[in-house]
Amino acid sequence: MKLAKFKQPNGLVAAGIVEGDSIQALDLSAGKFEALSDLLDAKDIPAAVDYLPKRDPHALDSVQLLPPIDRQEVWAAGVTYKRSQTARMEESEAAASCYDRVYVADRPELFLKATPHRVRGDGQELRIRTDATWNVPEPEVTLVLNSRMQIVGYTIGNDMSSRDIEGENPLYLPQAKVYDQCAGLGPWITLSSDMPPREQMTIDLKIERGGDVVFEQSTDAAQMARGFEDLAGWLGRDNSFPNGAFLMTGTGIVPGSDFTLAAGDVVRISIAGIGTLTNSIVQG
């Protein structure tokens, strides 16, 4: 089952269920849910969705999808793949040992990535900071956690990052990672029961510039050095999430050091079991 947020042709925002090429708005109020995050907190989400009245279907390509978030915080894990460890160590000689140590440490790197207003969905623009010169998208399997820190679903995350700022000093990480339009989420949430096993969760990143593909690479979630449950467990330690949370699980794809994103680029991230998140890039 795939759950989304979208703008209906009448302009009203709704939660919806995606089936094939169509989407149907759900009447959340019939289940006394105020928002999609409440539905994601239900004990039995498929049963709750079955119970909710549904409106007439719309063709998916005729509606504007929105990021499937309302009140949750977005967190992210770092240096969970070997490729990320290597890339960070190249970025900053001074901080190399931090990245080297965290890759093998019991405690993972976790950071607050975004609040809802900084997030964009499929078809919306993501941004490069005006003061950054070396930028990349980070394609990440993203866990959808309920308030009990259970993994109820998965979506695609783009952890936009300014490598020059992060490389200058690791203490600048929040500025390299958190700013307006810094996070992509979507196009929807696939419930956990409908996801393929982790070894089959392929992750593909494609970056287009002026109609040409300028970067393309694939990996899969089995390359991760940590488990999804383990990351969710660390996030929930001494930390409560009454509205649930999203947790980006780190990138296994980092373009070479000579590559930077540019305004006008189109970033497509595909993850097996979910779909494709497409965002165009702006700066300033």
The correct pick among 2, 88, 120, 127 for binding ligand DO4 (CB under 6 A) is 88
Task: For the segment 141-170, give every residue that binds ligand DO4 (CB under 6 A).
Answer: 159
How many positions of this chain bind Mg ion (CB under 5 A)? 3
Cα–Cα distance between 108 and 230 in angstroms, integer?
9
The correct pick among 4, 52, 79, 110 for binding ligand DO4 (CB under 6 A) is 79
Could you tell which of ligand DO4, Mg ion, none binds residue 2, using a CB distance below 5 to 8 A set by kind?
A: none
Cα–Cα distance between 188 and 122 in angstroms, integer?
9
CA distances (Å), origin 218, targets 52, 119, 124, 201: 38, 24, 23, 11
The correct pick among 38, 73, 122, 138 for binding ligand DO4 (CB under 6 A) is 138
Q: Which is nearer to ligand DO4, 6 or 75 (CB)?
A: 75
8 Å CB contact between 39 and 15: yes
The residues, any chain, with a CB within 8 Å of residue 194's CB and separated by 6 or more, are 1, 2, 273
Q: Left if phi > 0, otherwise alpha if psi is -120 to 50, otherwise beta: which for 11?
A: left
The correct pick among 38, 41, 73, 138 for binding Mg ion (CB under 5 A) is 138
DSSP-assigned states of every residue in 201-266: -EEEEEEEETTEEEEEEEEEGGG-SS-HHHHHHHHTTT---TT-EEEE---S----TT----TT-E
Q: How far is the CB of 256 from ligand DO4 (least distance, A)?
A: 16
Does residue 251 belong to the site contacting ligand DO4 (CB under 6 A)?
yes
The 94-123 site mask, x for binding ligand DO4 (CB under 6 A), equals ---------------x--------------
How many positions of this chain bind ligand DO4 (CB under 6 A)? 12
Residues in contact with ligand DO4 by the rule CB under 6 A: 76, 78-80, 84, 88, 109, 138, 159, 173, 250-251
Residues in contact with Mg ion by the rule CB under 5 A: 138, 159, 251
